[in-house]
Structure 1
Amino acid sequence: MLVDTRNDVTETPPGRVPGHAELVARAAGLRADLWADAAESERTRRLTGRVVSGITEAGLTRLMTPRRLGGYQTSIRTLLDVTAELGRGCCSAGWVTGVLNAGNFVVSLFPETAQDEVWGTNPDARTALVLGMPARGVTETDGGVLVTGRWAYASGCRHADWIGVLIAVGGGSGGPVVHFALMRMDEVSVEDTWHFAGMRGTGSDTVVADRVFVPRHRLLPYLPVLNGETDGVVDPSHHYRNSLTGLFSIGLIGSLVGGAEEAFRYVQEKAPTRPAAGSTYANQAESPTLQLDLAAAATKVDSARMLAMGITDRIDRFAAAGENPDLVTRARARMDSTQTGQLCREAVDLLLTAYGSSAFNEANPLQRIWRDVNVGSRHAGFGMGIPQQVYGRALVGGDPREISLLV
């Protein structure tokens, strides 16, 4: 029986940081609401107010926020396990929570002035993040820049207070330098462009800026963040050492792992009461074919979870040592994230085939999970064969950044 633990957050004494197990339990306690609201989130193409409030009140958007400003500054493993639990209730909710925490992680690397702006009066402030092509409609002005641009696929922008986007600043002999620009959501507009077959509840619409002023303290060079080399951290204990790509992908694949795990649970639970059509078996559970499909799907789901855990454990290990991972390790993180998504997709495909054609009835939650995992696992960071090229280049001693900066 699922127990709603959201009220726990109001009872947390000021200054106490909940541990890994408590945060994961809070996420698990929200699954019933997420499951109940998933169809509505899909219909409206954004999370319901109840879901957003529940996630926020449980403190699950504070995972990467500095402790000095009321955040929890958790391990990357906690980010994975929390988003996976949420993904079991609703893949879109897990995905959005991962993105908003990744956005908050990036804000935590900005100068203290920017951090105080974001969280000084609201430790639950949420930051969406877009790693798309940098906007070039940038004019330098006194104290900052004026930004004009469009950024598609802005997951969670409907539920964010701030958004971090990429812009190109300057144009000297070395060419423009890509920066993160941090803007308030009330400074930009959102175009309704997210009409996709899956992950519909993520509200990944297009953010538009028209000559928005961004002060210098809300600009952060992009490449040092990718390489884990930023000096913008104020709190010396906040020393994650990893590529942003590794952290960002964890926020995405957690929801895929959770979705695949829930699809497995659903099919396994229903098997004893479902007929094995066209056979003499009393139910699906008695069919050797169903048993073989469950075994294959379980292996894929477990392998996906283990690959994802491996990424987080390596990132956390480097963080504890205060070191940056080498390029092979970073390239492997992108490759393992890609493989995680593929295994989840393959497992869910198997499970829907095993369940039968009624899995594709619009009233059946399996078809929603199937669409969500199929779309999510084809995110640009996982596709086009680029992660394989990146990892292969690193394995032969080359620089994978010659193929993609997302390493």
Structure 2
Amino acid sequence: MTHPALAAVEERSEEIAALGPENERLGRLADEAAKVLRETGAIKMLQPADYGGAEAHPREFAETVMRLASLDGSTGWVAGIVGVHPWEMALCDRRVQEEIWGADNDTWIASPYAPMGVLKPVDGGYVFNGRWQFSSGTDHCDWIFLGGFLGDADGDVVQPPRNYHVILPRADYEIVEDTWDVVGLRGTGSKDIVVKDAFIPEYRAVPFSRMTDGSALRESGRTNPTYGVPFTTIFPLGITSAVIGIAEGALAAHLAYQRTRVQITGTRVKDDPYVLFAISAAAEEIKASRIAMLDNVSRFYDKAAAGEPVTLADRAASRRTQVAAAWRAVRAMDEVVARSGGNGLRMDNPIQRFWRDGHMGLAHAIHVPGSVFHASALTDLDVEPPPGPMLSMI
């Protein structure tokens, strides 16, 4: 059975796709595009029911993000990132949940999580400073998660570093305009954020370790298995699902264009066995990426439902699957784009926008394969990877 949010996306698919060029022109989601996205309910799929959310199966969330991204990459990307934040907020202190959703449970939360700030301890909390890049969808959000390290009384980072997710209202940070001029995903409006001497009460500074060791879940009282999926599986899910959806969109645009295309040689594409072979091979690779992502998160959901423990090796393998799925989908997209001809890359053809968006999405730090594959191989050999960057998102 189709989730209501996905059904709503299908009902408004033409509208979402038509707004893609305007999103790109503005360098952020157009107000109308954000309104449509809000009305589909996609951002509230992982939000807790006590604040108007659907508490959906994460597989359903991924399917919805993929479909959105196949219509417009930027819309799908914002849904994939902003849509994960209610999942984390559900595990945070109930006081901040009430601050954000008590008056309006349609309030959106931005990020990024990269630890580019420092928390300086003071009475009752911390003073926070820093600058961050890549805050996707931030113009339409009223709160934000920002990554930071714990500092000492002088503001120097405590060693070994202790990573926190810090929660701030819009009044406590600045969105820096004209900081998002990139080749792809232009419509995401992933601008810089600056925080200067913001006071953070203790309950709005969450040690990242609490998300990975299960203590946040235990203390939250949440029982839906969706909240038992590891953070390092659920956060990449939204991003990689968007990349896979973008590849699906490129394939669909390519097929629509090729149906009537005649090559310069006079051969119709539908009579060219070499192009047809490439299309089919790419379609299967993209489908394999989709299946891998959906199966991966479903297995973790089933583990949570059964109360089974999740090991470091499980989490490392999950990240390996996620990274490989993104690269597989983009490589396959390249194969069909390369066979779209010169006219397929004109700026009025959506193929080129999907192509640019897909490569921009692949460049996200969550898709860097080196340390992930290294850590996963070590765990397969029963060797625990050393702490530090190799384990930062496993």
TM, length-normalised to structure 2: 0.93
8 Å CA contact 1:112, 1:234 repeated in 2 = no
8 Å CA contact 1:76, 1:315 repeated in 2 = no
C-alpha distance 195-106 of structure 1, shift in aligned 2 (>3 A): same
1:284-295 superposed matches below 5 A? 284-295=269-280
Q: Distance in 1 between matches of 2:143 and 2:324?
A: 31
Tell me which residue corresponds to 2:206.
Answer: 220
Tell me which residue corresponds to 2:239.
Answer: 252
Tell me which residue corresponds to 1:16.
Answer: none
8 Å CA contact 1:68, 1:235 repeated in 2 = no
1:152-301 superposed matches below 5 A? 152-171=133-152, 175=160, 177-192=162-177, 193-230=179-216, 231-237=218-224, 240-279=227-266, 281=267, 283-301=268-286
SS in structure 1 at match of 2:54: coil
| Unpaired runs of at least 5, structure 2 | none
AA aligned opposite 1:356:
G
C-alpha distance after superposition, 1:218-264 (max 9, x if no partner):
12111121344323414334662232121111101111121211222
Is 2:16 the partner of 1:49?
no
8 Å CA contact 2:85, 2:110 repeated in 1 = yes
C-alpha distance 379-176 of structure 1, shift in aligned 2 (>3 A): closer
SS in structure 1 at match of 2:223: coil
Deviation at 1:133, TM superposition (A): 2.4
C-alpha distance after superposition, 1:173-227 (max 9, x if no partner):
8655322110012321011311110111111111111111111221211112134
Is 2:109 the partner of 1:122?
no
1:10-25 superposed matches below 5 A? 20-25=2-7
Deviation at 1:337, TM superposition (A): 1.2
Deviation at 1:27, TM superposition (A): 2.0
Is 2:84 the partner of 1:99?
no
8 Å CA contact 1:334, 1:387 repeated in 2 = yes
Q: Distance in 2 between matches of 1:238 and 1:221?
A: 22
Deviation at 1:20, TM superposition (A): 4.9
Misfit runs of 4+, over 4 Å: 172-176
Q: Distance in 2 between matches of 1:125 and 1:399?
A: 40
Q: CA RMSD in A?
A: 1.9
Q: Distance in 2 between matches of 1:267 and 1:168?
A: 45
8 Å CA contact 2:243, 2:361 repeated in 1 = yes
C-alpha distance 400-122 of structure 1, shift in aligned 2 (>3 A): farther
Count matched residues. 386
Q: Distance in 2 between matches of 1:68 and 1:133?
A: 30
Q: Distance in 1 between matches of 2:182 and 2:212?
A: 29
SS in structure 1 at match of 2:47: coil
Q: Distance in 1 between matches of 2:298 and 2:35?
A: 30
Which of 55, 58, 61 is the equivalent residue of 1:79? Answer: 61
8 Å CA contact 1:76, 1:312 repeated in 2 = yes
Q: Identity over aligned residues, as a percent?
A: 24
Tell me which residue corresponds to 2:42.
Answer: 60
AA aligned opposite 1:164:
F
Deviation at 1:135, TM superposition (A): 1.3
Q: Distance in 2 between matches of 1:42 and 1:232?
A: 42
Deviation at 1:371, TM superposition (A): 0.4
Tell me which residue corresponds to 1:151.
Answer: 132
C-alpha distance after superposition, 1:48-92 (max 9, x if no partner):
111111111222111121111111111110110110110011111
Tell me which residue corresponds to 2:12.
Answer: 30
TM, length-normalised to structure 1: 0.90
8 Å CA contact 2:23, 2:186 repeated in 1 = yes
SS in structure 2 at match of 1:354: coil
